Structure 1
Amino acid sequence: MKSEVGGGSVSRSDARRLAGLRLPDHVIAAMRAELPGCAERVVVAVVGEVPSYSEPFRGRMGRNIENAVALALGGFLDMMATDGPVEEDQGIRVESVFQAAYALGRGEARSGRTMDALTAAYRVGARTAWHDLSTAAVEAGLSAGELGRFAELVFDYIDELSDVSVSGHADELATTGRVRERHLERLAVALLNGSGPDTVATMSERAGWEPPESLTALIVPESALSGVRPHLAASSLYAGGEAPGLEDRPDLTAILAADLTELARTRLLDSLGDREAMIGPTLPWEAAQSSYVRAKRALDLGLAATDASSDAADHLVPLVLTADPETLADLRAKVLAPLDGLRPSTVEKLVETLRAWLLHQGRRDDIATALFVHPQTVRYRVGRLRELYGERLTDPQFVLEATIALA
């Protein structure tokens, strides 16, 4: 018997297909005794490892989810408790569990959370549930052979629930969810472009988006989205393929992460690995464009590839030095004016010596080590610089200008 639900289907034959291992009554009883505590630990684990659920799973909603987890695992144990055909009432209970999983998927889509967050929650839940149930089963005397088959069926069952939830999520997006998603994408692009407050307010209302306290711009490869999304809050915004300045980079997309914590930022950076990506500063949501501009400048300068860091905060010096290239060029010309007229090879050696002299505060041995030359060579070059620059080498204003110009 099948019960059609939206675009998917739930079958009581699922119970028959997943069944096939008759567990002793005392093992079933031991695992049933663990269900309340197991359900509670599943919720705690999901809250701790999937940031999208850190708030929704607290309070009354958390208790409701605990009950749902206990019901789902209880349905599974119903199947393990019989070695014959699945009884009608057992089939009804299993069907109700699958219907609840489908409804969960639709509800998650309406709340704005992604399938990536939902499947991540299922993976965490499966791991936690297996740990608790298998521990109880082993303590109750389940054999190694039976434990292996039991593990297979546990993960098959939770995969089934996950698939049904994903189906519900997709069905919801295919109806009303996709419309809202498009409104949210347009809102993201408006924020990245620095649209005025009236425009943003209108678009926020149309998209049903409540502004968070802060937004953090991310530029990441499209291929990295599945690994990034579980670390982001539900109110984060995705620009799709319309982020300003990325028109010639279809492999990249922009995200505005809502209320990104330091822990989530660290996990994001870890998930990105050595991919070409950049994370801007966390700023009040109205300043989202500034976060994006900084992240894009850092990416355009190739800083992620150069220093293997995807955090713009690690590249503040080059960002400052390249903010006004023409002025920096004028400053450099002013600082190096005393070298005009010398041979290019001589200028090159004196410039590298002056830079090292500034960075190492005149310490001859350190300068020699940095330049891979003899200390006597450093002494000669610094003497030449003193002839050319005179008292300016001890002028704090000149030292500041030279340090910036030659950085």
Structure 2
Amino acid sequence: MSRAAGGAAEVGLDHATITALRALLPVTAGEVVQAVIDEVPSYEGALSGRMGGTIRRAVRTALGHFLDVADGADTRGVATEAAYELGRGEARDGRSMDALLSAYRVGARVAWRGLAAEAVSSGLPAEGLAEFAELLFAYIDELSAASAAGHAEELAVRGRVRERYLEQLCRDLIAGEGEDVLLAGAERAGWAPPGSLTAVLLPSSQARSARRLLDPRTLLLEDLPDSTTALLVPDADRGHVLRLLADRSAVVGPARPWTRVVSSFDRATRARALSADTLDTEQFLVDLVLNADAEAYADLRARVLAPLRDQRPATARRLEETLRAWLLHHGRRDEVAASLFVHPQTVRYRMGQLRDLFGDLTSPERVLELTLALARHP
């Protein structure tokens, strides 16, 4: 049994004293509220007007329940439930538990001063006064504990709800939802949109530790295929992000306006499929372009390199290597020969074969097609 309940019978307040104390409650409640306003900065201006009246009634009710306890009744359940809800409300209003505990301490002191003075004038002896004080402060401790529990529960619930909202916003972003949906989602999650977002893909085992290194507004989505997690980093300094993640299996996409981060996510996804060693997608742009439509690229190679189809495989391979080197070195025979480790006359001979097969090799259209077709080894 709590001290607040166990001490009720020991106080020895008679009915007349209890009645006198109840009559004092409106004045005491007003003094408590005023003292909280004066002494606890977080409540400055918060307890005036209609709110002040509501709080005065709540204080008067709490003190009334205390007098019920002192009179032998057990109404602590109602009082602690109200204190629990008060703690939740303070969390919703953005005030810390420290502020509420300070208000309880101030309130207990002021309430005790007023109630004790009235109890003494009603003839309560010193021994009973000590019991009365102990009972009051035990009661305030119970209310404080109930409020702390309510405050913590509200923060936990709000945190879980916000996490769900942030996760849904991340899903909407990488799904390419429209701007109206994204703005509504950001507002619901209490997330201030940045100028840009950069998509980063990581193994799920590395993602949360990596997130702690990045902007606190970074969004996270964990349940992607292959145990992959996406991070969407606001207004990223690309060089800094790359340095931070250099020792991780990360793929960093390009920065994009925040409502179009889906393109950064898609690029990071494609780059990750190309190579397990990819970190900076900007270093893989050629491969990304050539792999954007694998079938189209295969068709391009087949059409452009059709003249080599009837050659023996070894001959076709040598001619293809020579043509690629010729394009890369802009037809400079000695440089082509050096890159292939052959004599310049060999290059001259092979280029003669290639002109016989392909015809003109100098028109811009032909050079473009051959460059694309030979940009990647089959």
Shorter-normalised TM range: 0.5 to 0.7
2:292 maps to 1:317 = no
Larger Rg: 2
2:300 maps to 1:327 = no
2:361 maps to 1:393 = yes
Q: 1:224 deviation in Å?
A: 2.9
2:318 maps to 1:349 = yes
Cα deviations by residue, 1:215-242 (Å, 9 ceiling, x for unpaired): 111101233335532442222211122x
**For the structure 1 residues 174 and 351, does the alpha-carbon distance in structure 2 shift closer, same or farther, using more than 3 Å as the test?**
same
Matches within 5 A, 1:159-198: 174-198=156-180
Cα deviations by residue, 1:278-307 (Å, 9 ceiling, x for unpaired): 1111111110101100111011111x52xx
Give the counterpart of 1:405 among 356, 373, 376: 373
Letter in 2 for 1:367: V
In 1, distance between residues paired with 2:155 and 2:366? Answer: 62
In 2, distance between residues paired with 1:201 and 1:214? Answer: 14
Q: 1:319 deviation in Å?
A: 0.8
Counterpart in 1 of 2:23?
A: none
2:256 maps to 1:283 = yes
**For the structure 1 residues 364 and 274, does the alpha-carbon distance in structure 2 shift closer, same or farther, using more than 3 Å as the test?**
farther
Q: 1:378 deviation in Å?
A: 1.7
Cα deviations by residue, 1:86-112 (Å, 9 ceiling, x for unpaired): xxxxxxxxxxxxxxxxxxxxx9xx9xx
Give the counterpart of 1:213 among 170, 189, 195: 195
Cα deviations by residue, 1:178-220 (Å, 9 ceiling, x for unpaired): 2211210111011111123333233222211221111111101
Matches within 5 A, 1:235-246: 235-241=217-223, 246=224
Identity across the alignment (%): 53
Structure 1, 177-186 or 351-360: larger mean CA deviation: 177-186
Counterpart in 2 of 1:301?
A: 274
2:335 maps to 1:359 = no
Coordinate RMSD, CA, aligned: 2.3
The answer (yes or no) to whether the contact 1:239–1:253 under 8 Å persists in 2 is yes
The answer (yes or no) to whether the contact 1:219–1:277 under 8 Å persists in 2 is yes
In 1, distance between residues paired with 2:216 and 2:355? Answer: 61
Matches within 5 A, 1:94-113: none
2:244 maps to 1:271 = yes
Q: 1:172 deviation in Å?
A: 8.5
In 2, distance between residues paired with 1:324 and 1:313? Answer: 19
Give the counterpart of 1:200 among 182, 185, 208: 182
State the SS of the aligned residue for 2:177: coil
State the SS of the aligned residue for 1:206: helix
**For the structure 1 residues 173 and 381, does the alpha-carbon distance in structure 2 shift closer, same or farther, using more than 3 Å as the test?**
farther
Give the counterpart of 1:374 among 330, 333, 343: 343
Matches within 5 A, 1:29-178: 174-178=156-160
State the SS of the aligned residue for 2:236: coil
**For the structure 1 residues 292 and 337, does the alpha-carbon distance in structure 2 shift closer, same or farther, using more than 3 Å as the test?**
same
**Where does the alignment leave 5 or more consecutive residues of structure 2 unmatched?**
1-90, 95-151
The answer (yes or no) to whether the contact 1:283–1:291 under 8 Å persists in 2 is yes
Q: 1:273 deviation in Å?
A: 2.4
In 1, distance between residues paired with 2:335 and 2:311? Answer: 26
In 1, distance between residues paired with 2:155 and 2:266? Answer: 31
The answer (yes or no) to whether the contact 1:224–1:272 under 8 Å persists in 2 is no
State the SS of the aligned residue for 2:261: helix
Q: Structure 1 length normalisation: TM-score? A: 0.52
In 2, distance between residues paired with 1:182 and 1:359? Answer: 52
2:256 maps to 1:256 = no
The answer (yes or no) to whether the contact 2:211–2:231 under 8 Å persists in 1 is no
In 2, distance between residues paired with 1:333 and 1:313? Answer: 28
Letter in 1 for 2:331: G
Q: 1:173 deviation in Å?
A: 6.7
Q: 1:348 deviation in Å?
A: 1.0
The answer (yes or no) to whether the contact 2:182–2:259 under 8 Å persists in 1 is no
In 2, distance between residues paired with 1:230 and 1:172? Answer: 25
In 1, distance between residues paired with 2:239 and 2:342? Answer: 41
**For the structure 1 residues 180 and 350, does the alpha-carbon distance in structure 2 shift closer, same or farther, using more than 3 Å as the test?**
same
Letter in 2 for 1:253: T
In 2, distance between residues paired with 1:199 and 1:172? Answer: 27
Letter in 2 for 1:394: T
Letter in 2 for 1:259: D
In 1, distance between residues paired with 2:235 and 2:246? Answer: 22
Q: 1:175 deviation in Å?
A: 4.0
The answer (yes or no) to whether the contact 2:301–2:373 under 8 Å persists in 1 is yes
Letter in 1 for 2:190: G
In 2, distance between residues paired with 1:181 and 1:220? Answer: 20
Q: 1:171 deviation in Å?
A: 8.7
Letter in 2 for 1:270: R
Q: 1:368 deviation in Å?
A: 2.0
**For the structure 1 residues 294 and 180, does the alpha-carbon distance in structure 2 shift closer, same or farther, using more than 3 Å as the test?**
same
The answer (yes or no) to whether the contact 2:255–2:264 under 8 Å persists in 1 is yes
Q: Structure 2 length normalisation: TM-score? A: 0.56
